Amino acid sequence: MSFTYNRTVRFQDTDAARVVYFANVLGICHEAYEESLEASNINLKDFFINPSVAFPIVHASVDFLRPIFVGDKLLISLICQKIGVEKFEINYEITVGEILVAKAITRHVCIDVSSRMKQELPDKIIQWLETNR
């Protein structure tokens, strides 16, 4: 089952054209990712501060289908997928009401923080992936 996250667009998210600045869409998606981790009982402090493994983003893309404005009530749906023993991908669908306004993808690889070498996904992340696919 996919995870959903609600977010209201703030003025600080927008650019001079009064629409959401393109890079901020990825920031909003990352907020949803963090919320999904927390909802799966993954401690965010342990996950992001001095971890033994990390999950850097190695690819990201966004398709904008409609403008997103300040005050819009977003629903971000995450669909996670394991794509290898050390990689996973998150597909995001962003809607306002019933209208799909953007789609995004982030691809992550699991690395050992000390050696910076790829390693297999830990069990807690595999469980998170299963919960949010």
Mind telling me the catalytic residues?
A: 15
Whole-angstrom distance between the N-terminal and C-terminal Cα of the chain?
6
CA distances from 16 to 8, 12, 19 (A): 19, 11, 8
Which helix (H) or strand (E) segment is 128 a member of? Answer: helix 123-131
**Site of tokens 């050390």:** 86
Which of 68, 111, 64 lies closest to 88, judged by CA?
111
- Alpha-carbon distance of 66 to 87, in angstroms, equals 30
H helices of 14-92, in order, are 22-39, 44-48
